[in-house]
Amino acid sequence: MRVAFIGLGDIGEPMASHLARDPFDLVVWNRTAAKADEFARRHKARVAATPAEAVREANVVITCLPSSIEVEAVLHGENGMLDALQKGTVLIDCTSGDPPTSRSIAAELGGRGVEFIDAPVSGGTSAAKAGALTVMWGGEITVFERVRPVVEAFGKKIVHAGPVGAGDALKAVNNALLAVHILSTAEGLAVLVKAGVDPKVALDVINASSGRSNSSENLIPQRVITRAFPRTFRLALLEKDIGIAAVMAEDLDVKTPLISLTAERFHEAREKLGEQADHVEAVKMVEEENRLEIR
Euclidean distance between CA atoms 222 and 225, whole angstroms? 7
User: Within positions 4 to 43, which residues make up the interface with ligand NDP, using CB under 6 A?
Assistant: 7-12, 30-32, 35
* 101 touching ligand NDP, by CB under 6 A: no
> C-beta of 214: minimal distance to ligand NDP in Å?
13
Euclidean distance between CA atoms 190 and 90, whole angstroms? 48
User: Is residue 171 among the annotated active site residues?
Assistant: yes
* Contact predicate 132/123, CB 8 Å: yes
Report the DSSP beta bridge partners of residue 133. Answer: 155
**Interface residue with ligand NDP, options 55, 81, 90, 121 (CB under 6 A):** 121
**Interface residue with ligand NDP, options 79, 104, 122, 256 (CB under 6 A):** 122
Euclidean distance between CA atoms 229 and 245, whole angstroms? 25
Fill in the amino acid letter for 238. Answer: L
* 66 touching ligand NDP, by CB under 6 A: yes
* 247 touching ligand NDP, by CB under 6 A: no
**CB-wise, 150 or 189, nearer to ligand NDP?**
150
* 199 touching ligand NDP, by CB under 6 A: no
Euclidean distance between CA atoms 106 and 115, whole angstroms? 7
Who's near 26: CB < 8 A, 6+ residues apart?
3, 4, 5, 16, 19, 20, 43, 44, 45, 46
CA dihedral 222, 224, 227, 230 (to 10 degrees): 70
* 155 touching ligand NDP, by CB under 6 A: no
**CB-wise, 121 or 246, nearer to ligand NDP?**
121
**CB-wise, 265 or 279, nearer to ligand NDP?**
279
> By CB under 6 A, how many residues form the interface with ligand NDP?
27
* 277 touching ligand NDP, by CB under 6 A: no
| Nearest C-alpha neighbor of 44 from the set 59, 64, 24, 61 | 24
Question: What values do phi and psi take at 69, rounded to 5?
Answer: -60, -45
Euclidean distance between CA atoms 96 and 120, whole angstroms? 5
From the candidates 35, 44, 87, 171, which is the catalytic residue? 171
> C-beta of 89: minimal distance to ligand NDP in Å?
19
* Contact predicate 67/98, CB 8 Å: yes
* 290 touching ligand NDP, by CB under 6 A: no
CA distances to 26, 47, 116, 184, 283 from 144, rounded to whole Å, are 19, 26, 9, 38, 39
Q: Which stretch binds ligand NDP (CB under 6 A): 103-111, 196-204, 227-235, 245-253?
A: 227-235
**Interface residue with ligand NDP, options 3, 26, 64, 119 (CB under 6 A):** 64
* 232 touching ligand NDP, by CB under 6 A: yes
**Interface residue with ligand NDP, options 74, 92, 169, 189 (CB under 6 A):** 74
- For the annotated catalytic residues, the residue numbers are 171
Q: What is the binding site for ligand NDP (CB under 6 A)?
A: 7-12, 30-32, 35, 64-67, 70, 73-74, 95-96, 121-122, 124-125, 232-234, 237
